[in-house]
Structure 1
Amino acid sequence: MLDTIQAINKTAAFNRWAGFEVTSAANGEAELRMNWREEDMGQYAGFLHAGMIGAMLDTVSGYAAATVAGRVLASHFSVNCVSPAIGRAFVARGRVVKAGCKQVFAAAELYAQGEGADSLKLVATGNAILVPVEDPASAPPKKAQPAA
C-alpha cells in the first residue's frame, strides 16, 4: 500500500512543489513529512502558513482513507491551529475513524519537528469527511446530451 500512495503523491504537482514525502500508509493510517522552506512557506510572522497546515492535514487524511476505500475526495474538512507552527520539518499523521460505503471519517494531527527526530510538538489537528469516487478510467462513458 505504501508504494501505491507514494506513487499517487508523485502525480500531484502541489505535493511535489511542497515536498510532501509519504513515510507510511497502511490499514487506515498514513504519515507525511515536509521540510520547512523559509523563503516560500511562511506567513507574515515567520510561522508555517495555515494554508500549508491545511494542505498537509487534508492530504494525510485522504491518504489514510485511500488505504481502506480507494480513490477518495474530501467533502468536508476542518482545521484547528493549536500552536505556532515553527520547526525544521513537519509531520502529519492521519487515521480513519470510521469507514462506511459512502463516507470515510478521518482525523489528523500535524507536528512541528525541532532539532531532534523525537522532538515533535503538536501544532494543529484536523477532521475530514471523504467520499469514495470511481477512477475516471473505469467509469462508463457518459451519454451525449441532446442540444437544447
Structure 2
Amino acid sequence: MVDYDQEAVETRIRQSFARQGAMETLGASLSSVSPGVVEIELNYDRKLTQQHGFLHAGVISAALDTACSYAAYTVTTPEVSLLTIEFKVNLMSPGRGERFLFRGEITKPGSNIIVADGRGYALTDGPAKLIASMTSTMMVIRGREGISG
C-alpha cells in the first residue's frame, strides 16, 4: 500500500469521479473514500430500472465496477491509472429500494494487478439488503498516452 495522505487521495479520487460521464448520467455520488474502501450512492430512479421496476443489472454492475476501481485508486500512487480487465457479478436479490449503496474494498493490492470485492445494498427504512457482489481485477497503467487518473 502507498503512503496514505487521506486529503490528497480523496481530492484526486473526487476529481476523477467528477469526470465520469456514466456515473453523472446515473445520478451516482461518491459518498465515502478511505484507505482501500470507496462507497458510491444512488437514488432510485425509474429510468434506471428493467421491465419489472428493479434497478437494472447493468446499472448495478457499473456502480460496483466504479466503486471497486476507486477503492483501487486509494492504494496506488498519483501518477498511475487503472483499467478494469475482468469482473464477476452475482445478483442476489432484486434491486428494490429507495436508495442504493455500492462499496468497493481492496482484496489484494499490487503494483501491476489489483483485486477488489464489491457489495451492493438496497436501502429502505429497514436494514440494508445485500443485492449484489462483485470480484473485480484492475490493471495498473503507467505512462500510456491518453490515459491518466
Aligned-residue offset at 1:102:
1.1
RMSD: 1.7
Alpha-carbon contact 1:85-1:123 (below 8 Å) kept: yes
Normalising to structure 2: TM-score of the pair? Answer: 0.85
1:63 aligned partner: 70
Aligned-residue offset at 1:74:
0.5
Alpha-carbon contact 1:5-1:22 (below 8 Å) kept: no
The list of structure 1 runs, each at least 4 consecutive aligned residues, that deviate by more than 4 angstroms after superposition, is 135-139
Q: Give the paired residue count.
A: 136
Alpha-carbon contact 1:22-1:32 (below 8 Å) kept: yes
Aligned-residue offset at 1:3:
2.3
Partners of 1:121 and 1:138 in 2: how far apart?
39
Alpha-carbon contact 1:103-1:129 (below 8 Å) kept: yes
1:88 aligned partner: 98
Change (3 A) 1:52 1:60: same
Structure 1: which 5+ runs fail to align?
A: 140-148
Alpha-carbon contact 1:28-1:64 (below 8 Å) kept: yes
Query: What are the within-5 Å matches in structure 2 for residues 1-148 of structure 1?
Result: 1-38=9-46, 40-69=47-76, 70-115=80-125, 119-134=127-142, 136=144
1:146 aligned partner: none
Higher relative contact order (CA 8 A, sep 6+): 2
Secondary structure, in 3 states, of the residue corresponding to 1:68? coil
Partners of 2:31 and 2:125 in 1: how far apart?
19
Partners of 1:138 and 1:28 in 2: how far apart?
26
Partners of 1:115 and 1:71 in 2: how far apart?
38
Deviations 1:2-21 (A, max 9, x none): 22211111101111111111
Deviations 1:88-144 (A, max 9, x none): 11101111001111100100000001136xx311000000010111265698xxxxx
Change (3 A) 1:55 1:138: closer
Structure 2: which 5+ runs fail to align?
A: 1-8
